[in-house]
Structures are given as C-alpha cells and as structure tokens.
C-alpha cells in the first residue's frame, strides 16, 4: 500500500516534470520560430550577398548559397542536371546538346559510354548544386566604395558627438536629480515636453541658422555641436537612474569635503555605468545611422559623407541585386558587432518608472 | 567642558538661517550650472527655432530671395486647407500612427510577457536578436525588403508564387514598424522583471490563472514602462527621434507629412509654407501627447515617490 502510493506520487511528479519539460520545449520552440520569421529578411540579405550573379538569377537554385556542378567533356564545360530515366533512377548527367523535345546527355561517371539520348524537355529538369560561398561581391563592393574613408568620417562624427552627449547629458541629469532649484519642476516638465517635439518644426529655422547665420553648411558642426547641449530623452533616462542611487553615499562624500563635481565623478558615475553605457550605445546607433542632418548639411561635400549617407545612393549606382544586399550587410555590420559585444550591458538597467515625476 | 562648548551655540544661532539660505542659494546656483548646457540647447535649438518657424509661417519666406520676404498673414494656413496633397500627407501620417503603434505595442507587450516566463531558454541571446532589427538603418531595410519581395527572385514571391508584388509594397511600412519594437520591448521587459515575485505567489494562492495574473498584476505594475514605450513609439511614428532613429532622411520619412514638408522646403524652397505645415504637425503631435498624458491618469499607476520628491 505504502509503496504503491509513493509510486503513484513518483509517477505524478514524473508526469508533472514531463509536462513542465514539454511546456518549456514548446514555448522555446514557438519563440524561436517566431524569431526565425522575424529575422528571415536578414537571412535573405546574407544569403544573397554570398551568391554569384548567375546563381541569383537561377530560379532552381537552392535556398542556401550554392553553385551549379559542371562537367568538362572534350574541352567544353557542361552543366549537370538531375535526369530521371524510365527505370525510376535519377542520374546526374551533363547536358551536351539541349533540344526542345529530346536532348543528349553525358554521364560523368561513365564518359566512355558516349552521348545518351533522353526524351523530354530539359527545361523542366533541376540543376545539380553543391554548397559554395561566393565572396566576390564583398571584394567588388570594397573596390567600388571607399569604405575606409567613409568609416573614418562616420567615426569622427560618432566620437565627437558621443563625447558631447555624455558630458552634457550626465551633467544635466545630475543637476535634475540632486539639486533643489527654484522652478526645477517646471524645467523638468519642459524637458519632458521637448522629447515629443517633432523634428520637422525645428528643421527650417535650424537650416537657416546653420547655413545663413553660421557658415556651417558642408561641415560637421551641425551634426556635432547640438550633442554638446544634451538630449532630452537621455537626460530623462539618466536622471531616473541617478535618482535610484541612494543619497547616503554622496552626502558622505560631501561631508568629506567633496564638491558637487567630485561627487558626480567619484560617486554617481561609477554606480550608473550600465545606464551610461546604454545611453552611449543608443547614441552610437543613432549617430551611425544618422541621415537627416547628413543629407542636409553634407550634400555639398562628398568627401565628408558618412557610411549611412553613402548607402543612400546605392540604388542609383547600378549595382546588381546581390551586390546591393552586400552593401546592406556592410552598412549594418558595425552596429551589429557593437550590439553583440555590448549585450551584457545594453538596456539591462533601464527600469523606467514614472515619466511624469 | 560640554557646557563650555555648548555655550556659544545660542549666540551663533542668529546668523544660522542666513548661512542656511546661502547654502540653498549655493545649491541652486550649482544645480543651475549643471542644467546650463540643456537650457542653452533648449533655447537655441528648440525654443528659438519653434518661434522662428511660427514667424516664418506668416510670411512668404523663400531661401533664395530673403529680401523679398513679406508678411502675408494666415495665407499659408489657408493654403493648407486648399492643398489636397498636404491633406493627404497629414492623413497618411495619422493613419500610419494609428496602424503601426498599436501593432508594435501589442507584439512588444506579448514578447515581454513571454520573456518573463522562467520556462523560456536562451533569453539573453534572444533579447539581443529581437532588438537587433531596431538598429538597422532604414536604407538597409529598404534594400532588404525590396530584394525579398522582388518579382523575379525574392523569397516571398518564390514562396507564395506571386506574380504581382503591389499589395506587398503597401505592407512595407508595417514591416518596417515591426522592426522597431526593440526599445519598447526591452523597457517593458525590464519593468515586468522588476515586479515583486510575492505578488504572483499571493495571486496564485487566491486561484488567479496566468491571464488573470497578467492583466491584474503585470500590466498595472509595469504600466509606467508601457506608457513610456507608447510615448516613444508615438514620437517615432510621427517621424521624430525618440530612443532610436531609423536613419531616414526627411525626404523618405515614414511619416508622409514630414516628407511633404521637406518637399515644400527643398523642391520649392517655400520656407514660409513649410513652416506653416510644420506648425500644423507640431500642434497635431502636441494634441496626441496631451491625450496620451490625460489618459495616463486612468491606467498608469505611478509609484509613490520617496520623500526627496521636492527636487
């Protein structure tokens, strides 16, 4: 009796385990399939960038990068086809003399048998492919586009703008999170309000300011200088994070005679590293992909153009479709590498509480 | 000894409030200095341009002939009501907002909810993979999607044996919007993971099922994050930069109104009219924002802030 009940209990925990396992497996499988569909356009991009032009146009080519097998017969190269014969066997034969109703093939395994006649339309036959990665698109686009130069331009803008945004946003967020300022609540309300201001409203006057009042057309200044004045959304995120840091530590530092700047550098910043890294990364992605300002102010200086800007002209370059996809890979490669290197930190600490407060 | 030391205290009490006041003054000054970069930026890159745009919108300001600029009153605004393509662009922007934002929110909320499950394996890499498309610039997405739905060789056309790709092209902006769920998804996920586990335990004891627990615990507890995601999705739907920029130039913005404004600006150098259109757009976004913030009172549960609230 006793053993039976314990057995039953055991079996019920076993079924529970089995259920849990099935649940885990099903859920994980479902999300992975969803992810696969979600990212399938990216796999199309990668696969296409690894195809040759002939292979891209070949509708019978498999989904993976592959090359048609060929066979050299009497000094001429012929393509291999999967040829079914009446006895039910499918042979990999090379097509020597194509013709509409019946064609002549050669068996690469037994070339001594000579040409084989086969009745049927050769156009309905599938080719024989083997997996092969074709790297030439990358070599060609590297030759056609001056990537080192574009990379250097993008890097200059990103580094300077990053310095500006971090210095200013950290300082302003510190000001908002730690100081009693008359009218501070109103200023914070203004900050939140500026987040939602559409870009188009400031477009025309900024353009007038940067090109007429300041001689900044065709320079990096319109892209870099605004970063030194902070960005409302980053200030908001950092301020939220700074407020979650206990004040005991900075009060202790103040008592030890540390000034506000010293407290910021030695107490606040070390504790807010994940949030600061997130802001730095967000700003990196935004600046790297930035196109509005670049197309407004750098259009007259082709030598200053950025990677994102150059990609805008790709469709007009007359690239073949596979090279176009290669260009897309080149464009997103650097942000993706940065994202994967930083996934440990990225957005990990971004717990947003009240937006109104 | 102690008495001796304490004795001077009452005497020094009179200058003490003064000292306290100067301390407050010092704190305000230093705080203000820290805010200065943003205040200057707000002044020169936001407030002045917005007011200047308002000024321009009442003139026939043309870039190439600034000396011919004259005050023309409300003419630009009246032109808007007669300009059918401007109306269509505004309608396009509003419908893009109404279609893309709910879709993004639902998918991101669903994903975030699934990611809080302990049963899901490989979360870190999946988080990154779901976020990944959000940092792909729009020009790359455009190249990829046009290849994917290419009539001759695209995977989609080959898979579904489609001969005409027109209906797929109209789906293109929606696909683009689904690839921007990253920031919203991560923000909501962060909030959901911060919900105390005891709440779920208590609800489970009370017999609440998973859906019930999600609706009555997860959503209210993470409502500030949901609200924040809604706001940033709204901003990017109207063509602004919130957390992540798609890297679209104005002329090909997803928001048709924004494209139309730059079209007026660069094709006709019609800065006065462009400014009037921008102001109409500005008012529209502000109205939507106010509606969102008003609605927040009913469904967003802001946590009680601690005693240092007066900052």
Structural domain boundaries in chain B:
84-136+179-301
Contact flag A44-B148 (C-beta cutoff 8 Å): yes
Is A282:A236 a contact under the CB 8 Å cutoff?
A: no
Residue B148, chain A, CB below 8 Å: the answer is yes
Contact flag B140-A331 (C-beta cutoff 8 Å): yes
> Within chain B, what is the greatest distance between any pair of CA atoms?
100
Residue B294, chain A, CB below 8 Å: the answer is no
Q: How close, in Å, is residue B34 to chain A by CA atoms? A: 5
Residue % of chain B over a pLDDT of 90? 29
Q: Determine the Cα–Cα distance for residues A156 and A154; give it in Å rounded to an integer.
A: 6
Confidence of residue B166 (pLDDT cuts 50, 70, 90): low
Please list every residue in chain B whose beta carbon sits closer than 8 Å to the beta carbon of residue A184. Answer: 31, 311
Contact flag A41-B122 (C-beta cutoff 8 Å): no
Contact flag A202-B49 (C-beta cutoff 8 Å): yes
Please list every residue in chain B whose beta carbon sits closer than 8 Å to the beta carbon of residue A137. Answer: none
Collapsed DSSP state (helix, strand, coil) of residue A86:
coil
Average pLDDT over residues A111-126: 80
**Dihedral (CA of A152, A153, A156, A159) sign:** negative
Instruction: Please state, rounded to an integer, the average pLDDT across all residues of chain B.
Output: 82
pLDDT on residue A254:
84
Is A204:B278 a contact under the CB 8 Å cutoff?
A: yes
| Segment A241-252, tens digit of pLDDT | 898 888 888 888
Q: How close, in Å, is residue B95 to chain A by CA atoms? A: 17
User: Strand A90-97 vs strand A76-84: parallel, antiparallel, or unpaired?
Assistant: antiparallel
pLDDT on residue B33:
93
Mutation target for A interface from B30, B137, B220: give the one with most A CBs within 10 A. B137
Average pLDDT over residues A203-231: 91
| Segment A83-103, tens digit of pLDDT | 888 787 888 888 888 877 788
User: How many beta-carbon contacts under 8 Å exist across A and B?
Assistant: 326
Angle at A71 between CA A69 and CA A72, to 5 degrees: 145
Please enumerate in sequence order all residues whose Cβ is within 8 A of that of B191, keeping only pairs 6 or more positions apart, or say none.
A351, A352, B221, B222, B224, B225, B226
Please list every residue in chain A whose beta carbon sits closer than 8 Å to the beta carbon of residue B121. Answer: 24, 28
Please list every residue in chain A whose beta carbon sits closer than 8 Å to the beta carbon of residue B244. Answer: 282, 285-286
Average pLDDT over residues A108-135: 82
Judged against a pLDDT cut of 60, whether residue B311 lies above it is answered with no
Q: How close, in Å, is residue A292 to chain B by CA atoms? A: 4
Contact flag B191-A191 (C-beta cutoff 8 Å): no
Residue A170, chain B, CB below 8 Å: the answer is no
Residue whose entry in the numeric block shows the structure tokens 């200044």: A221
CATH number of B84-136+179-301: 1.10.3720.10
Contact flag A332-B135 (C-beta cutoff 8 Å): yes
- Surface of B (220-249) touching A: CB under 8 A: 224-225, 227-228, 231-232, 234-235, 238-249
- Surface of B (67-126) touching A: CB under 8 A: 114, 117, 119-122, 124-126
> H or E segment at A91?
strand A90-97
> H or E segment at A133?
none
pLDDT on residue B15:
45
Confidence of residue B70 (pLDDT cuts 50, 70, 90): confident
Interface TM-score (ipTM) > 0.95 = no
Q: Give the residue from B189, B209, B180 showing the smallest Cα distance to B109.
A: B189
Collapsed DSSP state (helix, strand, coil) of residue B90:
helix
Q: How close, in Å, is residue B4 to chain A by CA atoms? A: 25
Please list every residue in chain B whose beta carbon sits closer than 8 Å to the beta carbon of residue A35. Answer: 126, 129-130
Confidence of residue B164 (pLDDT cuts 50, 70, 90): low
> H or E segment at A90?
strand A90-97
Contact flag A181-B32 (C-beta cutoff 8 Å): yes
Contact flag A285-B232 (C-beta cutoff 8 Å): no
Residue A306 CA to chain centroid, in angstroms? 17
Please list every residue in chain B whose beta carbon sits closer than 8 Å to the beta carbon of residue A178. Answer: 31, 311
The answer as to CATH 1.20.1250.20 being correct for domain A145-341 is no
Please enumerate in sequence order all residues whose Cβ is within 8 A of that of A268, keeping only pairs 6 or more positions apart, or say none.
A174, A178, A242, A245, A250
Q: Determine the Cα–Cα distance for residues A284 and A96; give it in Å rounded to an integer.
A: 57
Residue A226 CA to chain centroid, in angstroms? 26
Which 8-state DSSP code applies to residue B217? Answer: I
Task: Give the residue on B whose Cα is nearest the Cα of A313.
Answer: B139
Q: Which of B129, B148, B245 sits opposite A41 (nearest CB)?
A: B148
Instruction: Please state, rounded to an integer, the average pLDDT across all residues of chain A.
Output: 85
Please list every residue in chain A whose beta carbon sits closer than 8 Å to the beta carbon of residue B120. Answer: 24, 27-28, 31
DSSP readout, B22-55?
HHHHHHHHHHHHHHHHHHHHIIIIIIHHHHHHHH
Q: How close, in Å, is residue A87 to chain B by CA atoms? A: 32
Distances in Å between the Cα of A330 and the Cα atoms of A208, A234, A337, A341, B139 are 34, 28, 11, 17, 12
Judged against a pLDDT cut of 50, whether residue B193 lies above it is answered with yes
Please list every residue in chain A whose beta carbon sits closer than 8 Å to the beta carbon of residue B150. Answer: 321
Q: How close, in Å, is residue A63 to chain B by CA atoms? A: 9
pLDDT on residue A352:
58
Q: Which burial class, exposed, middle or buried, applies to A239 when counting CB atoms under 10 A from its CB (0-12, 13-18, 19+)? A: buried
Comparing A122 with A287, the larger pLDDT belongs to A287
Is B101:B230 a contact under the CB 8 Å cutoff?
A: yes
Residue A247, chain B, CB below 8 Å: the answer is yes
Average pLDDT over residues B103-125: 88
Contact flag A196-B240 (C-beta cutoff 8 Å): yes
């Amino acid at each position: 009796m006793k053993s039976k009940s314990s057995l039953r209990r055991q079996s019920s925990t076993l079924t529970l385990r089995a259920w849990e396992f099935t649940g885990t497996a099903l859920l994980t499988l479902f999300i992975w399939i969803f992810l696969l569909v979600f990212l399938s356009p990216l796999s199309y991009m990668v696969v296409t960038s690894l195809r040759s032009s002939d292979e891209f146009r070949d509708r019978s080519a498999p989904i993976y990068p592959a090359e048609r097998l060929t066979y050299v017969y009497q000094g001429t190269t012929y393509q291999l086809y999967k040829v079914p014969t009446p006895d039910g066997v499918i042979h990999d034969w090379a097509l020597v003399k194509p013709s509409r109703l019946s064609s002549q093939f050669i068996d690469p395994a037994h070339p001594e048998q000579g040409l084989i006649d086969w009745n049927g339309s050769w156009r309905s036959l599938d080719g024989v492919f083997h997996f092969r990665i074709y790297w030439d698109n990358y070599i060609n686009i590297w030759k056609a586009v001056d990537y080192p130069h574009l990379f250097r331009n993008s890097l200059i803008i990103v580094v300077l703008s990053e310095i500006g945004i971090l210095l200013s946003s950290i300082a302003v967020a510190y000001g908002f999170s730690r100081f009693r300022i008359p009218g501070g609540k109103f200023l914070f309300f203004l900050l939140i309000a500026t987040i939602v201001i559409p870009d188009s409203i400031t477009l025309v006057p900024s353009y007038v300011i940067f090109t007429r009042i300041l001689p900044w057309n065709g320079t990096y200044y319109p892209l870099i200088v605004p970063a030194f004045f902070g960005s409302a959304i980053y200030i908001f995120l950092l301020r939220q994070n700074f407020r979650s840091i206990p004040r005991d530590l900075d009060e202790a530092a103040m008592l030890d005679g540390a000034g506000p700047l010293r407290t910021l550098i030695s107490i606040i910043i070390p504790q807010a590293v994940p949030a600061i890294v997130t802001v730095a990364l967000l700003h990196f992605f935004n600046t790297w992909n930035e196109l509005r300002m670049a197309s407004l102010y750098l259009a007259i200086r082709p030598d200053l153009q950025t990677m994102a800007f150059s990609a805008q002209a790709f469709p007009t370059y007359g690239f073949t479709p596979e090279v176009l996809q290669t260009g897309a890979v080149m464009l997103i490669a650097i942000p993706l590498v940065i994202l994967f290197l930083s996934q440990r930190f990225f957005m990990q600490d971004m717990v947003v509480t009240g937006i109104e407060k | 000894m102690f008495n001796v030391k304490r004795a001077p205290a009452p005497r020094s009490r009179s200058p003490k409030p003064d000292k306290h006041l100067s301390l407050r003054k010092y704190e305000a000054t230093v705080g203000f200095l820290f805010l200065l970069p943003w205040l200057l930026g707000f002044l020169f890159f936001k407030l002045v341009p917005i007011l200047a745009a308002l000024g321009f919108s009442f003139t026939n300001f043309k870039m190439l002939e600034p000396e011919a600029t004259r005050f023309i009153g409300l003419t630009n605004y009246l032109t808007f009501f007669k300009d059918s393509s401007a109306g269509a662009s505004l309608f396009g922007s509003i419908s893009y907002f109404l279609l893309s934002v709910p879709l993004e929110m639902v998918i991101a909320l669903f994903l975030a909810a699934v990611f809080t499950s302990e049963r899901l394996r490989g979360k870190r890499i999946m988080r990154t993979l779901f976020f990944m498309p959000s940092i792909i610039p729009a020009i790359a997405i455009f190249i990829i999607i046009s290849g994917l739905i290419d009539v001759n060789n695209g995977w989609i056309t080959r898979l579904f044996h489609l001969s005409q790709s027109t209906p797929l092209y109209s789906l293109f902006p929606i696909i683009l919007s689904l690839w921007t769920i990253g920031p919203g998804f991560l923000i909501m996920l962060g909030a959901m993971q911060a919900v105390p586990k005891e709440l779920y335990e208590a609800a489970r004891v009370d017999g609440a099922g998973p859906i019930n627990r999600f609706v009555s615990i997860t959503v209210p507890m993470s409502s500030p994050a949901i609200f924040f995601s809604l706001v940033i999705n709204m901003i990017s739907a109207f063509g602004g930069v919130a957390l992540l920029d798609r890297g679209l130039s104005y002329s090909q913005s997803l928001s048709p109104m924004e494209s139309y404004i730059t079209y007026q600006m660069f094709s006709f150098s019609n800065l006065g009219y462009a400014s009037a259109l921008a102001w109409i757009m500005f008012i529209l976004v502000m109205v939507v924002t106010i509606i969102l913030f008003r609605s927040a009172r009913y469904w967003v549960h802001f946590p009680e802030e601690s005693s240092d609230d007066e900052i």
